Amino acid sequence: MRDRGLILALLIPGLLAMLATFILPMAWLLRASFSTSTMMQVGFTLEHYRAALADPFYWKVALNTLTLGLTVSAFAVILGYPIALFLARTTSRWRGVLTALAVAPLLTSAVVRTYGWMVILGDRGVINGTLQSLSIIDTPLRLSNNSFGATVALVEILMPYAILAMLAGFGRLSTQLEEAAAMLGANPLRVFWRIVLPLSLPGVLTGALLVFVLAISSFVTPRLMGGGRVFVLGTEVFSEATVTLNWSLAAALSVMLLVLFSSVIVIYQRALRRLEA
């Protein structure tokens, strides 16, 4: 067929880019995690996995990562839900502007917004500064350089993703269904509980998953907000890769992150199927 050559010509640049930026890196990652050298891919050993799994520190790190991911996704979804619901239902002419405002933070660098949270939660930051100048407290509250700060910042940084995912997932909601329920005798609370919430749950689940994935793989925010005291898989992968220069261990930790992530995806899909069945 004449189209064959054309199709191939259309595909080749993309396929090459995919090979170089996705397929090869993933293959190399797996290969490196079994390598006997720290920086080259040679030999075969399970040593890095053994080392990681035998070290209680990495178990703690994995647990921290899971806790951070779950906390952040829960709060991002809970705080994002009212905004998403409002944006999905409003007929206000400000809707476009308000949607843009809710999503715009997504388009400012995470580094910049992390800095913003350092300013807010720092020892001489907005909160401590205000409370001290009002003489409510003497010594600054410990709001940053700990996992609290990292969690708060990540919730805000990832909330727009939750809002977007929820908005996209709210397709089955309609004011007419709510009106129908009201006509049948449901008061506003029951309309929410029996109609709005069940119908928006798939969107909520997708939002939570998205935020979870981004939270467990984050390292810029935990590192800057944690002030070196928050240890999650992301920060450990980064320091193994760029400070300790043990690339094979970094690769092994990445694979473990991927496993953690995949198992969450599987759980998510089960939940979604049950919701829609």
Using CB under 8 A as the binding rule, the residues of this chain from 57 to 96 that contact another protein are: 79-80, 82-83, 86, 96
Q: Give residues with Cβ within 8 angstroms of 48, minimum separation 6.
A: 33, 34, 35, 248, 249, 251, 252
Per CB under 8 A, 101 contacts another protein: yes
Distance CA 182, CA 186 (A): 5
**CB of residue 57 to another protein, shortest distance in Å:** 19
Of 70, 74, 186, 272, the residue at the interface with another protein (CB under 8 A) is: 186
> What's the min distance (Å) between Cβ of 226 and another protein?
12
Nearer to another protein, 147 or 254 (CB): 254
The answer to whether 173 and 199 are in contact (CB under 8 A) is yes
Contact window for another protein (CB under 8 A) among 51-59, 111-119, 134-142, 266-274: 111-119
Nearest distance, CB of residue 24 and another protein, angstroms: 5
CB 229 within 8 A of CB 149: no
Asked if 257 touches another protein (CB under 8 A), the answer is yes
Q: Is 141 left (phi over 0), alpha (psi -120 to 50) or beta?
A: beta
Buried b (16+ CB within 10 A) or exposed e, 14-23: eeeeeeeeee
Q: Which of residues 3-22 bind another protein (CB under 8 A)?
A: 3-4, 6-7, 9-11, 13-15, 17-18, 20-22
Coarse DSSP helix, strand, coil percentages of the chain, rounded to the nearest 5 percent: 75, 0, 25
Binding mask 31-60 for another protein (x = CB under 8 A): -x------xxx-------------------
What are the tokens at 108?
């400012």
**CA dist., res. 128 & res. 141, Å (int):** 6
Distance between CA atoms of residues 126 and 119, nearest Å: 6
Q: Rule CB under 8 A: choose which of 218, 230, 231, 246 binds another protein.
A: 218
Cα 216 to Cα 130: distance, rounded to the nearest angstrom = 32
Site residues for another protein, 113-132, by CB under 8 A, read: 113-120, 122, 124-126, 128-130
Closest separation between CB of residue 116 and another protein, Å? 2
Residues 145-174 within binding reach of another protein (CB under 8 A): 153, 156, 159-160, 164, 167, 172, 174
Q: How far is the CB of 103 from another protein (least distance, A)?
A: 6
User: Does the protein bind another protein through residue 111 (CB under 8 A)?
Assistant: yes
Nearest-CA neighbor of 77 among 65, 85, 88?
85
